Amino acid sequence: MKTKEELEKAVLMLEQQVATNKTMSETYQQELDYAKQQLEDINKPELTPAYLDKIQEAIEEGVGNFSFDEQDNYDKEFGMEYDGKVYLESIDLTCSHELVEKIVEKVYKLFTEAECPTEEQE
């Protein structure tokens, strides 16, 4: 059987190894995340600045065609203060999917859809 000092020394050494491995694991995870991001970036299609401007214009047009003035597009909650003043406690855009659809519709018009390669073509 080991003595108390030997066990304390073994525990201390194991704790140091765990801390070292944890640091190395975090470093490897950071490197892995960075490599994944680089791989994702390298696979992105390249666009010219002029075409990026067209995408921005399409998004602006999609947002511009959405009716933010329509009251039915929002869920509203009101509150009342002690002195009788009514205030708007919260407001939520209920039909955000319509806004997204308008934006997507404008952006889709800028592209043609490519055919996905089948396993045989790869």
What pLDDT does 119 receive? Answer: 65
Q: For residue 106, count other CB atoms closer than 10 A to its CB.
A: 20
Query: Which token pair is 93?
Result: 């855009």
Tens of pLDDT, residue by residue over 97-111, are 787 888 888 888 887
Between CA 46 and CA 58 the distance in angstroms is 18
Least confident of 20-24, 27-31, 115-119: 115-119
| Amino acid sitting at position 12 | L
Tens of pLDDT, residue by residue over 74-94, are 888 889 889 888 988 888 877
Place of tokens 């509150």: 79
Between CA 81 and CA 33 the distance in angstroms is 50
Tens of pLDDT, residue by residue over 50-82, are 888 888 888 888 777 777 777 787 888 889 889
